[in-house]
Amino acid sequence: MRRALDAAREATENALPNPRVGCVLLSPDGATLAVGAHHGAGTPHAEVEALSRAGAAARGATAVVTLEPCNHTGRTGPCSDALIAAGVARVVYAQGDPNPAASGGAARLRAAGVEVESGLLAAESEALNLAWTHAVRTGRPYVTWKLAATLDGRSAAADGTSRWITGPTARLDVQRLRAGCDAILVGTGTVITDDPRLTLRDEEDAPLPYGRQPLRVAMGERPIPDDARVRDAEAPFLHLVTRDVDAALAELAAREVRHVWLEGGPRLAGAFLGADRIDEVVAYVAPALLGAGTPALNGTGIGTIADAVRLDLTDVTQVGDDLRMTARVRKDSA
């Protein structure tokens, strides 16, 4: 199963709106016959890729899969039927499929006489597809709020300047993490004031080799100029003409957006936090002090320490001269 998880990780940084899945086929004596992985929407599922590589040797084999084989026809056919047709004798999977439209593969396999076991390294599989699992279970995208601030919590100086709070290593690290999402969301004010591209680019302004560019999203009621750089041909763009957080997320969910990378100003972040719609925070803290200027967060409605939103740190890493802290929001405190 660990090898299947590794295969899923190595296949792609981002399979969204689908999950990352790996599959290992084992012969009756435990030898590896084939390894498969899912590479993104429209490509074969991990089981199908492994079966095609194993050929006739798959008959009587054990399939070790990170996610319950699907039982529906979408862009591809049901993996449960493919495993049955190939003569696989046993299936061991980690995470059950939370998608009601695709679940039921285990029951289909058992009905066909295939031995099925579940739950092996299920937590690791869920961690691999944290945003996808959340989106499928809740019906809304997983939201990661990224912020960059000085040690005293300022996202811009008193005169409004903010380029650059963090160093080049941290900024390149942001691009890597952006690539793992399928939408980058900012407010219309950020688009109008800063005219950002919101694409994956390096310090020399060259596109980065991360595959497809995420959807660029501007949220707010102010009109976006026709010549704004977010409207260029480098990546798709969507203007959500609303200030309502849940309405915006519902529209993105309808477009199969699973993971939103939230950037922009402190008021937009405050609106999302106030609506309890931030799931994770990635904070880049620079060893610098401003003493005055724009705070990283505003407009949350929090007025007392008892109402503070508490976070659980999952990672603290020095990135160049800066510090990156990753934390998940405790939902009982938001």
Is residue 166 in a domain?
Answer: yes
In the predicted structure, residue 256 carries a pLDDT above the cut 70: yes
333 assigned to a ligand binding site: no
Q: Are residues 115 and 145 in the same domain?
A: no
Range of the structural domain that residue 283 is part of: 139-329
Mean of the per-residue pLDDT values for the chain? 92
User: Which pair of tokens denotes residue 60?
Assistant: 């009587």
> Where is the domain boundary, 73, 98, 133?
133
pLDDT (tens digit per residue) in 155-198: 989 988 888 899 999 999 999 999 999 999 999 999 998 899 99
196 and 311 share one domain: yes
Measured CA to CA in angstroms, residue 216 lies from 189, 235, 312 at distances of 14, 7, 29
The predicted structure's pLDDT at residue 114: 97
How confident is the model at residue 67, as a pLDDT? 97
Clarify whether residues 243 and 311 are in a common domain. Answer: yes
Whether 236 maps to a domain, the answer reads yes
- Mean pLDDT score, 281-308: 91
pLDDT at 52: 96
Asked if residue 291 lies in contact with residue 153, where contact means CB atoms within 8 angstroms, the answer is no
Residue 222 lies in a domain: yes
CA 58 to chain CA centroid, nearest Å: 33
Q: What angle do CA 148, 154, 157 make, to 5 degrees?
A: 110
Q: Is 162 annotated as a binding residue?
A: yes
Q: Any idea what the CATH number is for the domain that residue 77 is in? A: 3.40.140.10
168 and 269 assigned to the same domain? yes
Q: Does the annotation place 216 within a ligand binding site?
A: no
CA distance 285 to 283: 6
DSSP H helical segments within the chain, as ranges? 2-11, 46-54, 79-86, 105-111, 122-128, 130-138, 168-178, 188-194, 245-254, 266-274
Are 150 and 288 in contact by the 8 Å Cβ rule? The answer is yes
Residue 160: per-residue pLDDT: 83
Residue 150 lies in a domain: yes
Shared domain check, 158 and 126: no
**pLDDT band at residue 299, thresholds of 50, 70 and 90?**
confident
Q: Cis peptide before 261, with omega less than 30 degrees from 0? A: no
Q: Which of 113, 133, 153 is the last residue of a domain?
A: 133
Q: What DSSP string describes 283-326?
A: EEEES---SSSEES-------SGGGPPPEEEEEEEEETTEEEEE
- In whole angstroms, give the CA distance from residue 73 to residue 45: 12
With the C-alpha atoms ordered 240, 270, 283, 286, is the resulting torsion angle positive or negative? positive
pLDDT given at position 333: 45
**Does one domain contain both 163 and 275?**
yes
**Do 152 and 230 fall into the same domain?**
yes
Residue 334 pLDDT more than 60? no
Report the pLDDT averaged over residues 141-166.
92
Q: Average pLDDT for residues 217-232, to the nearest whole number?
A: 96
Residues with Cβ < 8 Å from 303, sequence gap 6 or more?
none
Catalytic residue status for 126? no
Residue 202 pLDDT exceeds 90: no
For 108, the 3-state DSSP assignment is helix
Q: Is residue 233 part of a domain?
A: yes
For the segment 50-78, the average pLDDT, to the nearest whole number, is 92
Question: Is position 78 within any domain?
Answer: yes
Nearest to 88 by CA among 22, 34, 19, 7: 34
**269: domain CATH number?**
3.40.430.10
Number of domains into which the chain is organized:
2
Q: What three-state secondary structure class fits 252?
A: helix
3-class DSSP assignment, residue 105: helix
Same domain, residue pair 264 and 191: yes
pTM: 0.90
H-state helical runs in 129-265: 130-138, 168-178, 188-194, 245-254
Which is the catalytic residue, given 10, 13, 47, 68?
A: 47
Stretch among 68-72, 161-165, 318-322 having the lowest mean pLDDT: 161-165
Q: Is residue 262 part of a domain?
A: yes
User: For position 209, what pLDDT does the model report?
Assistant: 66
**Binding residue per annotation — 222?**
no
- 151 plus 90 within the same structural domain: no
Residues 154, 275, single domain; the answer is yes
- Non-local CB neighbours of 206 within 8 Å, separated by 6+ positions: none
Question: Could you tell me if 87 and 14 lie in one domain?
Answer: yes
155 belongs to an annotated ligand binding site: no
Count CB neighbours of 174 within 10 A.
19
**23 annotated binding-site participant:** no
Please indicate, yes or no, if residue 334 is contained in any of the structural domains.
no
Closest by CA position to 74, among listed 114, 38, 109: 38
**Residue 281: closest CA among 199, 194, 177:** 177
Query: Final residue of a domain: which of 78, 99, 133?
Result: 133
Same domain flag for 147 and 122: no
Confidence at 1, pLDDT banded by 50, 70, 90: very high
Is 79 labelled a binding residue? yes
**Could you give the percent of the chain with pLDDT greater than 70?**
98
247 carries a ligand binding annotation: no
The residue ranking higher by pLDDT, 69 or 99, is 69
pLDDT > 90 fraction of the chain, expressed in percent and rounded: 81
142-150/259-262 β-pairing: parallel
- Side-chain-facing half-sphere of 217: CA atoms under 13 Å: 25
With a cut of 50, say whether residue 122 has pLDDT above it: yes
Residue 181 among known ligand-binding residues? no
User: What is the predicted pLDDT for the residue at 332?
Assistant: 66
